[in-house]
Amino acid sequence: MEASKKIVAQHLQKIVNNDLLNDLIPEIVNHFNEFSLSKNQYFVEKGEVCSYFCFVESGILQHAVSVSGEEKTTYLALKNSFTSSLKSFLQQTPSPKSIKALSTCKLWVITIDDFKHLMKHNKAFHQFYYNLVEHQIFLIDDYRIDLLTLTPEERYKKLLVNEPKLLQEVPLHYLASFLGISTRHMSRIRKNIN
């Protein structure tokens, strides 16, 4: 197995978290194919059907929606994460959001047909997907609670503690949008904290 596919296998194995299913991981990895995006190239544009579910080997994918003509970041998929416009991908319907590369990205993608086949026939993939979705639900819940209960400064400080690499890898205006803060306010917060 080539080095990059080993990385995919390691992350699948970590999420599956069941040694009894490790023998099924190589079959999953064989369904993923390498896919590259240049900076600012779209993985999916709003209104298109999302063709793939992916693993981000390198780079950053920005999930965004347009609100009154302004781009709002809803999620940032970093290196070693799995992502998609999931509803569009699974239901083969137009995506309500765009996903674009904020930097050159090396991805590993799987098609809907292969995804459905693995869900039906590979117990490790089924466990992987269950664990992944459960983890994402926890993150979304935490994020919503933070938006309602924490000040912008507290949200920024929490990001500093929990996701320090975001602050190094993601441009300020994307982070501000993700945190629900204006870019100007975000600059003030950074200045006061640093």
Query: Is position 192 within any domain?
Result: no
Q: Note whether residue 74 is domain-resident.
A: yes
In a domain, residue 103? The reply is yes
The pLDDT value given to residue 138: 93
Is residue 142 domain-resident? Answer: no
Is residue 95 a part of any domain in this protein? yes
| Rounded mean pLDDT, 60-74 | 91
**Is 171 a member of any domain?**
no
pLDDT, one tens digit per residue, over 26-58 is: 999 999 999 999 999 999 999 999 999 999 999
Quick check: is 168 in a domain? Answer: no
Is 141 a domain residue? no
Specify the CATH number for the domain of residue 67. Answer: 2.60.120.10
**Structural domain of 51:** 3-122
The residue with tokens 């690499």 is 165
pTM (predicted TM-score): 0.89
pLDDT for 171: 84
**The two three-digit tokens of residue 30, written as one number:** 């064989």
| Strand 61-67 with 81-83, pairing | unpaired
CA atoms of 51 and 150, how far apart (whole Å):
36
First to last CA, the chain: 44
Domain count, the chain: 1
The kind and range of the H/E element at 63 are strand 61-67
- 24: DSSP letter: G
Say whether pLDDT at 167 is over 80.
Answer: no
Render pLDDT for 117-159 as a digit per residue (tens, 0 to 9).
999 999 999 999 999 999 999 988 998 899 889 988 888 888 8
